[in-house]
Amino acid sequence: MKPLVEWVTRAMVDHPEAVEVREVEGPQGTLLEVRVSPDDLGKVIGRGGRVIKAIRTLARAAATRSGKRIMVEIVRGQEAQDGIDHVAAPGSDQDDRHRGL
């Protein structure tokens, strides 16, 4: 799934060399942390979170075929190296958790 997410993300941004995807294994599945240039953040999130939602859907579909669970999150800043600063796109599961839903 990591190569798929990298390929899709690099294809849509202005700075493909800045795209990094880190794979973190966890007890509930695999987390893919996507890091892009600050200039490209809006392109990857999309209006109303539509683009990142589509990327998540692709990754989940590919993972389901393999019998795995995967989550895709956008990270930014220095804190992102520690997995702390996640960007929750509107309408995402993480967005709901931030709002206490």
Q: What is the pLDDT of residues 83-92, one digit of tens each?
A: 444 555 555 5
Quick: pLDDT tens for 44-56. Answer: 999 999 999 999 9
Where are the chain's structural domains?
Answer: 2-98
CATH architecture, range 2-98:
2-Layer Sandwich (3.30)
Is the distance from CB of 72 to CB of 66 less than 8 angstroms?
A: no
Q: What does the alpha-carbon distance between residue 13 and residue 44 come to, in Å, rounded to a whole number? A: 7
Q: What is the pLDDT of residue 87?
A: 54
Q: What is the pLDDT of residue 28?
A: 87
> Is the confidence at residue 18, as pLDDT, over 70?
yes
Average pLDDT over residues 36-47: 95
* Average pLDDT taken over every residue of the chain: 83
pTM equals 0.74
